[in-house]
Amino acid sequence: MFLKAAINGGRSRAEAPTVPLTPEEIATDASRAISLGAAVVHAHARTADGGQSIHPDDIGAMVRAVRATDTSVIIGTTTGLWTCSGHDERMRHVAGWPDGALPDFASVAFSEEGAAEAAQLLVSRGVVLESAVWSIDDVPSLLSSPTLHQNVRILIEPETADADQAIAECRQIAAILRDAGATCSILYHGQDGTAWPVLRAAVEDGVEARIGLEDVTCDSAGSAADNAAMISEALAIGRSCPDS
């Protein structure tokens, strides 16, 4: 089972008391995630006041802290427009990410303005690309993007709060992508109430999965949990499926 640990996202301490926010906390949680069996780690750099950021200084500080703590961690981040004032600033920030502290991979949401351009910039900088679709409406722009076949994986991230619908959307979009010739890995992930059902569907379908405090703050039984507990449970679910 390929599991990505999404360790913080935009969560606050009010939502999840153990969420890692500082570079050092992110580095510690990232190392722990890998030691438990996660394949890669996705984290959002934070400002001093806890805001999400893709500013070069914040990305550099996070990546350097992770690598100083554990060189085995494959660390990725977001390029989401909610982290900055808009696409133009995103492009300036990504262009300014420090050469000596580039994340290993980064994701681009094809629901956003300028996604194809942002994806091309990442590739030109030597950052491994992931592309994300939030609904079937995002698929045409991804399929027409010049970087389609340079993705390490495509993330399917349904926005619905209905678990059955989220699973159906994942499967529908995955089929469209495969029929259109996308050959990279596919990852499903949900949010809050859909996170665990979608993870189980990913295991059943033999695709990549994701879990962590960015996506959900509790285990599958509904009890509050930290990243380590959720990663351990997700991997146990994976081991319970013979084909995973």
Q: How confident is the model over 182-240, as pLDDT tens digits?
A: 999 999 999 999 999 999 999 999 999 999 999 999 999 999 999 999 999 999 999 99
Q: 244 pLDDT exceeds 60?
A: no
Q: Is 86 left (phi over 0), alpha (psi -120 to 50) or beta?
A: left
Beta bridge partners of 31: none
Average predicted confidence (pLDDT) for the chain: 97
The overall pTM is greater than 0.95: yes
Determine the longest span between alpha carbons in the chain, in angstroms.
Answer: 47
Question: CA 209, CA 142: separation in Å to the nearest integer?
Answer: 20
Question: CA 163, CA 116: separation in Å to the nearest integer?
Answer: 29
pLDDT band at 63 (very low <50, low <70, confident <90, very high): very high
CA angle 129, 227, 154 (to 5 degrees): 20
Per DSSP, helices labelled H in 99-243 are 115-124, 139-143, 163-179, 195-205, 227-240
Q: Which residue has the tokens 């009890």?
A: 223
Question: CA 46, CA 141: separation in Å to the nearest integer?
Answer: 29
Give domain limits for the chain. 3-240
| Mean local confidence (pLDDT), 100-113 | 98
Q: CATH homologous superfamily of domain 3-240?
A: Aldolase class I (3.20.20.70)
What pLDDT, on a 0 to 100 scale, did the predictor assign at position 243?
63
What pLDDT, on a 0 to 100 scale, did the predictor assign at position 241?
82
- Residues of the chain with pLDDT > 70, as a percent, come to 99
